[in-house]
């Protein structure tokens, strides 16, 4: 009896995670319409009532799905970006991970970014996580701007929209369409293209006054030398 009780308690302790994993699997397999609470319960091996015991509503369960997906991604990216110095390297990390997540969770990505985003978005779990996620890009550009690495007056919020909007379009016609792409090469080319318009333009280095004078004197000496030859 003690053994059975202990086994039941261990299962109960893991039930929250099992239901959440089942919800992720249902969403990835069939989409939001097919991921009913009853279907999620069946996949988790529990009743519909048990699902509601751990998650008060389907909206609460979906909020937990977003948390389970986007939370770790944002945390990992933050660590990677803090260990990186250049803007180009930071944008590469962000671009590559975005495309990688589209490949790893294609159905969930479509649901979160296209369907759920426009359903009570403001103040939702996705809104909070999306702000933190996009905030990584904003912080990277703001730091580069302070260092003078960007064109003066660059609209950073607009750059953010261009960056992620472009990635969504790129990923839709490749990753979500089932086309195989090289994530490293694609992310690198994408970032390089954007930085051609965002990076500060450097004027060609001009020799200082002393150097110009020294060059002029050298040229004059060569001219005099040629003219003095028989």
pLDDT (tens digit, 9 = 90+) per residue, 116-133? Answer: 766 677 878 788 899 999
Residue 10 pLDDT: 44
Can you name the CATH fold of 1-56?
Arc Repressor Mutant, subunit A (1.10.10)
pLDDT band, very low/low/confident/very high, at 33 (cuts 50, 70, 90): low
Give percent of the chain above pLDDT 90: 60
pTM listed for this prediction? 0.78
Can you name the CATH fold of 62-220?
Tetracycline Repressor; domain 2 (1.10.357)
Helices 125-146/156-173 angle, 10° precision: 120
Residue 152 pLDDT: 93
pLDDT band, very low/low/confident/very high, at 3 (cuts 50, 70, 90): very low
Distance CA 94, CA 187 (A): 9
Give percent of the chain above pLDDT 70: 79
Q: Which residues, at least 6 apart from 199, have a Cβ–Cβ distance to it below 8 Å?
A: 87, 149, 150, 151
Q: Where are the domains of the chain?
A: 1-56, 62-220
Q: What is the dihedral of CA 83, 78, 98, 133, to 10 degrees?
A: -150
Cβ–Cβ under 8 Å, residues 66 and 126: yes
More confident residue, 33 or 149: 149
Helices 87-104/125-146 angle, 10° precision: 160
Residue 7 pLDDT: 44
pLDDT (tens digit, 9 = 90+) per residue, 10-29? Answer: 456 689 999 999 998 998 88
pLDDT band, very low/low/confident/very high, at 168 (cuts 50, 70, 90): very high
Residue 11 pLDDT: 56
């Amino acid at each position: 009896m003690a053994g059975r009780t202990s086994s039941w308690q261990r299962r109960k302790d893991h039930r929250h995670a099992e239901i959440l994993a089942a919800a992720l699997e249902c969403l990835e397999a069939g989409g939001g319409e097919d991921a009913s609470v009853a279907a999620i319960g069946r996949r988790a091996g529990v009743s519909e009532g048990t699902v509601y015991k751990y998650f008060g509503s389907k909206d609460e369960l979906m909020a937990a799905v977003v948390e389970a997906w986007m939370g770790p991604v944002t945390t990992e990216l933050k660590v990677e970006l803090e260990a990186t110095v250049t803007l180009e390297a930071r944008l590469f990390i962000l671009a590559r991970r975005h495309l990688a997540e589209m490949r790893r969770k294609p159905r969930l990505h479509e649901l979160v970014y296209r369907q759920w985003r426009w359903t009570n978005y403001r103040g939702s779990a996705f809104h909070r996580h999306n702000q933190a996620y996009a905030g990584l890009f904003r912080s990277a550009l703001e730091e580069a701007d302070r260092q003078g690495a960007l064109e003066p007056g660059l609209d950073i919020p607009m750059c953010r929209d261009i960056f992620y909007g472009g990635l969504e379009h790129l990923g839709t016609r490749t990753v979500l369409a089932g086309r195989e792409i090289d994530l490293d090469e694609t992310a690198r080319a994408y970032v390089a293209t954007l930085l051609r318009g965002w990076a500060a333009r450097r004027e060609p280095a001009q020799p200082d006054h002393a150097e110009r004078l020294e060059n002029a004197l050298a040229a004059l000496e060569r001219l005099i030398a040629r003219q003095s030859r028989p």
